[in-house]
Amino acid sequence: MKKEFQDTYHFKLTRLIAEGGMGNIYEAILGGDEGFEKRVAIKMIREEYSNEKDFVKLFIGEAKLVADLVHQNIVQIYKLGKVEASFYIAMEYVHGVNLRDLMGKYEELGTKIPAELGAFIISRVCRGLEYAHAKTDAKGNPLGVVHRDINPNNLMIAIEGEVKITDFGVAKAQNFMEDKEGKVIMGKAPYMSPEQAKGQTTDNRSDIFSLGTVMYELLTGQSLFSHGEDAKQVMENVCSMPIPLPRKFNPEIPEELEKIMMKALERDLNKRHIDAGKLGYDLEYFMYHKGYGPTIQTLEKQLRLLFPQLYIHGAKKDKTKEETKAMSAKWTA
């Protein structure tokens, strides 16, 4: 057997999924021999930013880090490549919605997500974070992974009910991502931890606070720290604004679950959950200690009710942008 060989990857971009400030995400078909096809997502740096060294470093660091994070609650990365001057990442395609879409649907309907179902979604994120935070290198040394950008847009829900964390683009980890804490504040202001907003060193507990803000918004329908202010004021809110009890906005939240949320939102690191596994355990105990609780099948059924179009085979998808059309011919990396 040959110890080393080269292969050629063929991708056909089929539609633009999302546009970001410096990069775009496309749905694509990975083609192989004998008619093999696999649907994937392609994350690509925009050409105008391909020479921005700091951004390219983050992009490459994300690919190298997540390539070795293999977990059911984390979007898998397959390949880092380059086409002409632009880098791209080929990753798992998640057919479904992100948490922001789900929250928007409940808002549109004028109702709240069932508390136990919301707890289930957050508990799955906990298990993905628990795995990432505990990841070590080949020698068993902790990588010290911190996602630093846990927010509703980066949490995906597949049509089968699986919850997956994506976008480790501003994560920190030893030997993978350049650490500029104290110099550059990473993440989205409404979902930062207090230590993150202050530019202090973060650890796994920072992601727990961020997830707490997501859980608060998911179950109450209210953004915790952002109310139309500028980013500076939002970060001040994160650091010092009194946190209203969740039941003020949604009395249907059980007191036990409210206590779990408020612990995740402790500004004192010593009072916050010590790790994502402990938060996950508390949520699972809340859901299951009295008997049967929600599962991925429960979440799938809810998605079928809220987003029936996702389950129609061959249903028309979002209109393909002109940019996608121009790039949709097969290209080789």
SS3 track for the chain: CCCCCCCCCEEEEEEEEEECCCEEEEEEEEECHHHCEEEEEEEEECHHHCCCHHHHHHHHHHHHHHCCCCCCCECCEEEEEEECCEEEEEEECCCEEEHHHHHHHHHHHCCCCCHHHHHHHHHHHHHHHHHHHCCECCCCCECCCECCCCCHHHEEEECCCCEEECCCCCCECCCCCCCCCCCCCCCCHHHCCHHHHCCCCCCHHHHHHHHHHHHHHHHHCCCCCCCCCCHHHHHHHHHHCCCCCHHHCCCCCCHHHHHHHHHHCCCCCCCCCCCHHHHHHHHHHHHHCCCCCCCHHHHHHHHHHHCHHHHCCCCCCCCCCHHHHHHCCCEEC
Active-site residue (options: 149, 167, 207, 282) = 149
Tokens encoding 29: 């078909």
**Interaxial angle between packed helices 255-264 and 204-220, expressed in degrees from 0 to 180 and rounded to the nearest 10:** 140
Strands 77-83 and 86-92: antiparallel
Tokens encoding 280: 């996950």
Collect all residues with Cβ–Cβ distance below 8 Å to 35 and sequence separation of at least 6. none
Encoded amino acid at 89, one letter = I
Strands 96-98 and 10-19: unpaired
137 an active-site residue? no
Active site residues: 149
